[in-house]
Structure 1
């Protein structure tokens, strides 16, 4: 019998597997993933890894492999304007470290992140089966019976679903969600520019939604460009020249000539929060448990918080001789993570509604608020620590840089 079967081979599923195996080598942990073998190598996106997540990856022994590809975010600039405005006044600037003299976040290519975690799985003897997924499962008193798409039948003490925001396993478990479609899409691409960004990330609040530029290595930036869903589809599928013209209107010319060097894709944006994170012998983690707006850049870090909490819950229960798949054990994980996730979901929802509009009284009020925060160093430091993920008490040990 397998101890833990993880469905999903992204950064959440892989980091959970490594966390469990590092802390409890005797556990039989396996990963199944429906994507083809090398699909992860074609992911052109990059993600913001907060300081707390960096600490966790360091404990897992993978940060040194990731670090050469990671670009520190040294400064965050926030503006509020229309796309056609010739001048974009800066209302808020974050500078400083997240603690210990380390940047509050790094931008990391997804290929570097997933590649390092897959290598760690190989070193720890964690099998990763590609091109097959969990087709159906049934939870019993002592095990969950699992049927894979390739016809294999397995039993496990615990099944963890890390299969994304449209999780089929969440649906199969009968877990309901709170769901809202924003009518927006996030356009993701990479651009190259003439002048260096100097580690500066910028978020321009525009009427259609935030336009974020995030620093990468070699004079490149990752873009997360929020637009009305219809306009986003038109921009992604349309003429290259039109796309670059619209891009320059938002990006500006402060970094010189721009060149799109990555593919462009649009992802629908919405709020999805699972009402329950666990069921008997079943747990959700990452986007399967929550999908939030990218306005805060915290989606990946919420997933790593899930990993750290679930791994600690499982390992400590195993050390005490408890049944790691029992609902009594899994409830600790749910209690640990559900409130924080709902709070972040509500926060990003409110921020998106507040900033994705051009209502003059609302715009004046939010700009005054941003200006006040900019003039209050203690409040700014608080927000920097929040962005770094190091401001919460009672966080899992991995996020504090401590082994389980």
Structure 2
């Protein structure tokens, strides 16, 4: 990108009015705040970080969702000092059951069931309510002296030079840094301004989330019921409560969302079943569109994409946040190692290394989720026989189930140190 074309006097004035940092992060969601903590606090001799977010720090927007955190994500949050605040409200997933049937089927066969244990007493995943996670991350960010949170505000434009990147704020301010990180979501303004295209499409489905209470304990069991309209996930929360992540074809989903509470609960009960006794709504219901999206590049000149700005996946396996936190761990490790060697933390060589580490893994994960959704979200009888046969084969292969648990837990392959719970 071209540098600024200013007369020398104007350039000196502009430099004097520009606040300088090592890194600017645009977007204060889960991934943006985790990255700010990793770069500003967990890294030795923490980098100076500006975290720009559109929401005011005291904002407490209601969120009906809960997130499945892999064992690797737990390791990262432990290093960041956030996990102790979350541990009491976290529910370990003890085992996972997968079933496949039509909505009106009298019997729901248990096609695949496995313990979600990496080692004895160590779960591969934990359920955390989103409101608890955002509160813990925000509290940690506000305590960290190396992070300056600029909110409510947003990055509206940027310009890279051979030696730095300048970011313009909606408030009229200007920031300078070596590296700008786009953590501003799947409709990323910074990605668009960098002319980075995406491969992707919207699903003809609607995601519905809520929380239910029930009279019987769930014993930490997660259930994934594949239905013709899309997967219906029952994810255990603390107490006799379960988080629902419900995918439905768009027309049906919109009708369900506009129905009254009694009608909504009746539709929910059809899918939930009776194994946990009577159910009640224990939280608000929310819905959101579903997309597949992978950026063609994860980096630009002094720019890196993380989280949903880089990739958006179908929620059927609950891996969206975990994939974003892998971005956090990988980019932090690369930036910190570069800084230790005296390198410019926005150098192309470092950013290209980040892209090589993360783009294939992210694209592969998104493609797998897309394929599973296409395979199971239909009522084709011959196809159901074939896919159920495949699940049965997996169910009788303990070594394969262990490999699947390790992959979902984020501990297979080349794992960044932060995801292992190791400080840099």
Bigger mean CA offset, 120-129 vs 311-320: 120-129
Deviation of 1:38 (Å) = 3.5
Deviations 1:309-367 (A, max 9, x none): 00011111111111111212111100000010111111111111100011111100000
Structure 2 Cα separation of the partners of residues 146 and 24 of structure 1: 26
| 1:190 counterpart residue number | 211
TM-score after normalising by structure 2: 0.93
| 2:105 counterpart residue number | 85
Structure 2 Cα separation of the partners of residues 130 and 70 of structure 1: 29
| 1:33 counterpart residue number | 53
1:187/1:267 contact within 8 Å kept: yes
| 2:296 counterpart residue number | 275
Deviations 1:34-66 (A, max 9, x none): 123343452231100000111111111111111
Structure 2 Cα separation of the partners of residues 135 and 60 of structure 1: 29
Matches within 5 A, 1:384-395: 384-392=405-413, 394-395=414-415
Among 121, 125, 128, the residue aligned to 1:101: 121
2:64/2:285 contact within 8 Å kept: no
Deviations 1:194-250 (A, max 9, x none): 111110000000001100010001211111000011221221122212111110000
1:278/1:334 contact within 8 Å kept: yes
Question: Secondary structure in 1 aligned to 2:232?
Answer: strand
Structure 2 Cα separation of the partners of residues 123 and 35 of structure 1: 18
The yes-or-no answer on 1:2 pairing with 2:11 is no
Structure 1 Cα separation of the partners of residues 232 and 296 of structure 2: 30
Structure 2 Cα separation of the partners of residues 39 and 203 of structure 1: 33
1:44/1:263 contact within 8 Å kept: yes
| 1:263 counterpart residue number | 284
1:40/1:114 contact within 8 Å kept: no
2:92/2:220 contact within 8 Å kept: yes
| 2:232 counterpart residue number | 211
Runs (4 or more) in structure 1 with deviation over 3 Å come to 36-41
| 2:134 counterpart residue number | 114
Structure 1 Cα separation of the partners of residues 254 and 349 of structure 2: 46
Structure 1 residue runs of 5 or longer lacking an equivalent are: none
2:57/2:138 contact within 8 Å kept: no
| 2:33 counterpart residue number | 14
Among 173, 177, 187, the residue aligned to 2:194: 173
Structure 2 Cα separation of the partners of residues 239 and 121 of structure 1: 40
Q: CA RMSD in A?
A: 1.2
1:98/1:390 contact within 8 Å kept: no
| 1:53 counterpart residue number | 73
The yes-or-no answer on 1:201 pairing with 2:222 is yes
1:143/1:155 contact within 8 Å kept: yes
Matches within 5 A, 1:110-189: 110-125=130-145, 126-189=147-210
The yes-or-no answer on 1:354 pairing with 2:375 is yes
1:190/1:220 contact within 8 Å kept: yes
Question: Secondary structure in 2 aligned to 1:127?
Answer: strand
Matches within 5 A, 1:304-383: 304-383=325-404
Deviation of 1:129 (Å) = 2.0
Deviation of 1:101 (Å) = 3.1
Question: Secondary structure in 1 aligned to 2:276?
Answer: coil
Cα distance change of structure 1 residues 55 and 114 upon mapping to structure 2, 3 Å threshold: same
Structure 2 Cα separation of the partners of residues 43 and 141 of structure 1: 42
Structure 2 Cα separation of the partners of residues 380 and 17 of structure 1: 35
The yes-or-no answer on 1:70 pairing with 2:105 is no
Question: Secondary structure in 1 aligned to 2:212?
Answer: strand
Question: Secondary structure in 1 aligned to 2:316?
Answer: helix
| 2:16 counterpart residue number | none
Question: Secondary structure in 1 aligned to 2:274?
Answer: coil
TM-score after normalising by structure 1: 0.97
